[in-house]
Amino acid sequence: MQHPIEKAILVGIITPRIRKVIAEEHLAELQRLAETAGAIVTRTFMQRVQAFNPATLIGEGKVSEIKTALEEDEASLVIFDDDLSGSQVRNLEQRLPGIKVLDRTGIILDIFAKHAVTAESRLMVEVAQLQYLVPRLTHAWTHLSRQAGGRGIGMNGPGETQLETDRRIIHKKIQELKKKLVKIEDARERQAVRREDTFQVGIVGYTNAGKSTLTNRLTSSNVYVKDQLFATLDSTMRKLYVGDGKFILLSDTVGFIRKLPHHLIDTFKSTLGAASKANCILNVVDATANDYQEHLEITHKILEDLIDPKIPRIIAFNKAESASPERRQELLNHYPEALQISAKENIGMESLKQLLIQKMQTWEDDRKMRTN
Ligand SMILES: Nc1nc2c(ncn2[C@@H]2O[C@H](COP(=O)(O)OP(=O)(O)OP(=O)(O)O)[C@@H](O)[C@H]2O)c(=O)[nH]1
Ligand SMILES: [Mg+2]
């Protein structure tokens, strides 16, 4: 599912529930996703709707408008911020001949495929891609069986048989890949057992918040940092030395994003497992993001299923040096416990380190109490 550099038009939707500034933020994020995937965005469209059009998601008039824009810009790709069903993709592709129609999930999968490095994350991406494909195949199937119509209900057209075979092959492939993943995960589990004596901190948060930069800053390491979405896909563990030859293990993991597809979360659960094994969660939040509250909510929601609510959490607002004084005051008012730091400018690192050491000591004391 890799695409060469292509010109793309983006489409966002404002429903009555969504405020305009937030919708714009969502579309700006989609633009970053598209660019990270290698597309050049020529225009963005935003449509206000009361309800989604089941056939094409957006209204027919808007589809025609987009068609003209695609021709003018010589663009070959249209990307929707909202997820499209298989039949919506097909309907849109019919109305926009020669144009590739993608949605947010499709783009995220492309980026994941580009950024996966280890055998494990490659396998996970492959599973997620196949799962994404299955419902789309179903619709192609309906389409083909209809073409074979006129032969009476219950008479299988050739298309139907072919598609059923395709679906079976895909399901079988998914099962095989999952088996391979289980083996890798078992090995990971065995390693995890060995680490039980060490205090572990899971660094989590929205993509591009600065998790890897912070990991590097705290541990003087060289984790890949880039101003793009999903720079990190594979978890890495780094040691933060805290004196007396003791260390804390920091794990830097894949970032979150709104509308992260469910099957992707499920598939990536094992990488996030690094966070689920953690004795403390460090949630890094971009203090400069206008929708930082939504970032916090999304992170919270994803972690809900993964992490014991009793595990202590620290919120660190990163990029504080670039946040406005009003924003910093707002953060202070609403999150008095949270730290304001700058991983890039090396601000607040000592306080953060002390706080982590404090959490480690509490954890050690609890353990001693339990074993005595
Ligand atoms: N202004 C500012 N920029 C920062 C700070 N920390 C990180 N950045 C920048 O933010 C961008 C993303 O940083 P990363 O460390 O890759 O972010 P991440 O959370 O690991 O992102 P993913 O791995 O993509 O989820 C990079 O361009 C960093 O240089 C900071 O304290 N201030
Ligand atoms: Mg990273």
Q: What is the pLDDT of residues 208-265, one digit of tens each?
A: 999 999 999 999 877 777 777 777 777 788 999 998 888 999 999 888 888 887 777 7
Contacts of 256 (CB under 8 A, 6+ apart): 204, 205, 206, 207, 295, 298, 299, 302
In angstroms, what is the span from residue 232 Cα to ligand 2's centroid? 4
Average pLDDT score over residue span 189-209: 84
* CA-based nearest residue to 90, from 142, 168, 53, 44: 142
Is the beta carbon of 346 within 6 A of some atom in ligand 1? no
Average pLDDT score over residue span 63-68: 96
Strand-pairing partners, residue 45, are: 11
Check pLDDT > 90 for residue 267. Answer: no
Check pLDDT > 70 for residue 148. Answer: no
Long-range Cβ pairs for the range 154-160 (8 Å, 24+): none
Check pLDDT > 90 for residue 52. Answer: no
Give me the amino acid identity at 221. S
Which two three-digit tokens encode residue 90? 């097909």
- Cα 258 to Cα 81: distance, rounded to the nearest angstrom: 10
- Cα 272 to Cα 234: distance, rounded to the nearest angstrom: 9
- Cα 219 to Cα 217: distance, rounded to the nearest angstrom: 6
What digits encode the pLDDT tens for the residues 91-113?
Answer: 999 999 999 999 999 999 888 88
Taking domain 7-112, whether its CATH number is 3.40.50.11060 is answered by: yes
| pLDDT for res 331 | 98
In a mutational test of the pocket of ligand 1, which residue from 204, 235, 344, 347 has the highest number of ligand atoms less than 8 Å from its CB? Answer: 344
C-alpha neighbours within 13 Å on the C-beta side of residue 85: 12
- The string of DSSP codes covering 340-354 is E-BTTTTBSHHHHHH
Mean pLDDT, the chain, as a whole number? 85
Which two three-digit tokens encode residue 2? 């890799």
Inter-residue contact 262 to 240 (CB < 8 Å): no
- The ranges assigned to domains in the chain are 7-112, 117-150+158-185, 195-371
* 343 annotated binding-site participant: yes
Backbone angles phi, psi at 142, to 5 degrees: -55, -45
pLDDT level of residue 154 (50, 70, 90 thresholds): very low
| pLDDT for res 157 | 44
- Cα 28 to Cα 30: distance, rounded to the nearest angstrom: 5
- Cα 281 to Cα 274: distance, rounded to the nearest angstrom: 11
- Cα 295 to Cα 259: distance, rounded to the nearest angstrom: 11
| pLDDT for res 11 | 96
pLDDT level of residue 192 (50, 70, 90 thresholds): low
| pLDDT for res 262 | 74
What digits encode the pLDDT tens for the residues 327-366?
Answer: 999 999 999 999 999 999 999 999 999 999 999 999 999 9
Q: Which of helix, strand or coil describes residue 242?
A: strand
| pLDDT for res 353 | 96
Span between the terminal Cα atoms of the chain, in Å? 56
Give me the amino acid identity at 226. K
Check pLDDT > 70 for residue 185. Answer: yes
State the sign of the Cα–Cα–Cα–Cα dihedral 119, 168, 259, 102. Answer: positive
Backbone angles phi, psi at 151, to 5 degrees: -100, 5
Architecture of domain 195-371: 3-Layer(aba) Sandwich (3.40)
* 344 annotated binding-site participant: yes
Q: How many helices and strands (H and E) does the chain possess?
A: 12, 10
| pLDDT for res 151 | 37
- Cα 108 to Cα 49: distance, rounded to the nearest angstrom: 25
Average pLDDT score over residue span 129-157: 53
pLDDT level of residue 266 (50, 70, 90 thresholds): confident
- Closest-lying ligand to the alpha carbon of 112? 1
Strand-pairing partners, residue 12, are: 46
In angstroms, what is the span from residue 19 Cα to ligand 1's centroid? 27
Report which of residues 3 and 184 the model is more confident about: 184
The answer to whether domain 7-112 and domain 195-371 are alike in fold is yes
Check pLDDT > 60 for residue 146. Answer: no
